[in-house]
Amino acid sequence: MNFFDFYRQDRWPHMFCPGCGIGTVMNAFFHAFVESGLDQNKTVFVAGIGCSGRIPGYIRADSLHTTHGRPIAFAGGIKVADPDLKVVVFSGDGDLGAIGGNHFINACRRNVELTVICINNYIYGMTGGQASTTTPRDFFSSTTPYGNREYPFDLSEVAVAAGANYVARWTTFHVKQMKKAMQKALLKDGFSFVEIASQCPAQFGRYNQMNSARQVFEWLKASAVPRSKASKLSADHLDLNLMGKITVGEFVERNRESYMKALGVLQ
Ligand SMILES: Cc1ncc(C[n+]2csc(CCOP(=O)(O)OP(=O)(O)O)c2C)c(N)n1
């Protein structure tokens, strides 16, 4: 399969802003998908609303563009209706961590056979740069003009705590690692989650004095701390970690019994 078999060229030009990290994520995903040997005719791509929610529309396969926050609920329904399908969800941090937070937590807990890719740009990109549940503390957005006073969610840690079988986080700088993590996630039984810290120059960058895609990208690169190193930091540093550092790496890989197997639907 080549690039043009995977993407719907008739949908081009795409709607992403110049410098958006979603292109890097899509490219890495394409390579991961091809190398995983999965059949695109037996895969369904699901997304909610948001910039990241537009990804499945560009993939030449069955896809579902659902309501904001609900892609996991729809995806779970698809899996139950036809357990032989591979179901992949693309989601934004607002979609997954805010309005869809409860679906996310409980799908991890149930260990539903889904692969979820979250493009975390730390902001509501599509709707005008409002703060999301992952906006770092003291960072700016259209709804936090004096700096965000809330602490952010760590989505990958939430997925680990809730029970997902595979969890990894990388940034758009870590293309090879991202691809490998996606490949592992696609082949993993049960709920697998890959979070990609990604640049949104049009909103996140603009509100945080990073006026080009490159500057946000450099910030992501400079903020990334390997998980092995982060675990050795003191509690104070870990607190700092929440406030702007991005822990990257594999968070968990385990083999809890998946949902459909536990129900006896899949062997
Ligand atoms: C029920 C509902 N609430 C709110 C909205 C408005 N809305 C559309 S996209 C979006 C936020 C998108 O942010 P995120 O999920 O982080 O994705 P991004 O655009 O940053 O990729 C919101 C609030 C909506 N469409 N439906």
Check pocket membership of 25 for ligand 1, CB cut-off 6 A. no
Pocket test for ligand 1, best of 68, 102, 117 (most atoms within 8 A of CB): 68
Q: What CA–CA distance (Å, rounded) separates 143 from 130?
A: 5
Q: Does residue 109 lie in a domain region?
A: yes
- State the total domains in the chain: 1
- Paired with 168 in beta bridges are 194, 250
Q: Does residue 258 lie in a domain region?
A: no
Q: Does residue 262 lie in a domain region?
A: no
Q: What CA–CA distance (Å, rounded) separates 112 from 119?
A: 20
pLDDT for res 172: 98
Tokens in use for 97?
Answer: 């961590």
Task: Tell me how far the alpha carbon of residue 49 lies from the centroid of ligand 1, in angstroms.
Answer: 5
Among residues 203, 202, 230, 200, the alpha carbon closest in space to that of 217 is found at 200
Q: Write down how long the chain is.
A: 267
Q: Residue 52 is part of which domain span? A: 3-252
Q: Does residue 231 lie in a domain region?
A: yes
Q: Does residue 55 lie in a domain region?
A: yes
Q: Does residue 257 lie in a domain region?
A: no
Q: Measuring from atom 26 of ligand 1, which residue has the nearest CA?
A: 68
In this prediction the pTM is: 0.96
Q: What CA–CA distance (Å, rounded) separates 259 from 40?
A: 23
- Ligand 1 atom with minimal separation from the 50 CA: 19
Check pocket membership of 183 for ligand 1, CB cut-off 6 A. no
Q: Does residue 75 lie in a domain region?
A: yes
Q: Does residue 265 lie in a domain region?
A: no
- The gap from C-alpha 99 to its chain's centroid, in whole angstroms, comes to 15
Q: What CA–CA distance (Å, rounded) separates 201 from 93?
A: 16
pLDDT for res 231: 72
C-beta of residue 34 within 8 angstroms of C-beta of residue 6: yes
Q: What CA–CA distance (Å, rounded) separates 184 from 186?
A: 5
pLDDT tens for each residue of the chain, 267 residues long = 788 899 999 999 999 999 999 999 999 999 999 999 999 999 999 999 999 999 999 999 999 999 999 999 999 999 999 999 999 999 999 999 999 999 999 999 999 999 999 999 999 999 999 999 999 989 999 999 999 999 899 999 999 999 999 999 999 999 999 999 999 999 999 999 999 999 999 999 999 999 899 999 999 999 998 988 877 766 555 554 455 689 999 999 999 999 999 999 998
Helix, strand, coil percentages for the chain (3-state, nearest 5): 45, 20, 40
Whichever domain contains 45, its CATH number is 3.40.50.970
